[in-house]
Amino acid sequence: MKRIVLLLIIAAALVVSCSSDKENEGSDPNDIVGTWDLVALEIDETTATDDEEFAKELLDFLSALDCYILTYTFNADGSVISENKGNYLVINANPGGSGLDIPCPSEKDTEIDEYLFNGEVLTYIDETGETDVAVEIMGNTIRISATDLDVENFDDGGTLVFARR
């Protein structure tokens, strides 16, 4: 259960974290408009912590079921809708030791906030203020470095990958 909570913190911290990744200079600010699902966590298998490995496996499993625990919809009017199913994840052990069963949650928490995007830096604006996040948009994929996240057991590295619907 601790790992589930960690994954939820990671996903939530995505929008309130900072990064120094500047590889997407020159992107069109309208490139971010659309609906984006968290589909993967890329990690360095040689240095990843157990929590990072578990989070990656969980996201891989759910993505294969077309179940996305975190979705952002960036609208052209500057509003962003976040949908988070992480609070409703249930992990069941299958009888006989045949692995885990993780059904896709049907419930989700939804928030509507504001954003600005200049082609390389996403400024997320919510009730706590403004937070800048460097993003890399390549076609229908957004990559965000997780190395600057200050989350216990998840500060060694990795990249959060979102895909456009």
User: CA angle 18-19-23, nearest 5°?
Assistant: 145
**Domains of the chain, earliest start first:** 2-164 (2.40.128)
Q: Which two tokens stand for residue 107?
A: 């419930």
- Predicted model pTM: 0.76
Helix (H) or strand (E) holding 156: none
Taking the C-alpha atoms of residue 59 and residue 149, their distance in angstroms, rounded to an integer, is 18
Nearest to 161 by CA among 144, 148, 138, 149: 144
Q: Do residues 52 and 158 lie in contact, with contact meaning Cβ atoms separated by under 8 Å?
A: yes
Percent of the chain with pLDDT over 70: 75
Query: For residue 13, what pLDDT band results from cuts at 50, 70 and 90?
Result: very low
pLDDT digits (tens, 9 = 90+) for 72-107: 999 999 999 999 898 898 988 777 666 778 999 999
Query: For residue 116, what pLDDT band results from cuts at 50, 70 and 90?
Result: very high
Taking the C-alpha atoms of residue 135 and residue 92, their distance in angstroms, rounded to an integer, is 34
DSSP 104: P
Cβ contacts of residue 151 below 8 Å, gap of 6+?
Answer: 6, 9, 10, 13
Helix (H, G, I), strand (E, B) or coil at 95: helix
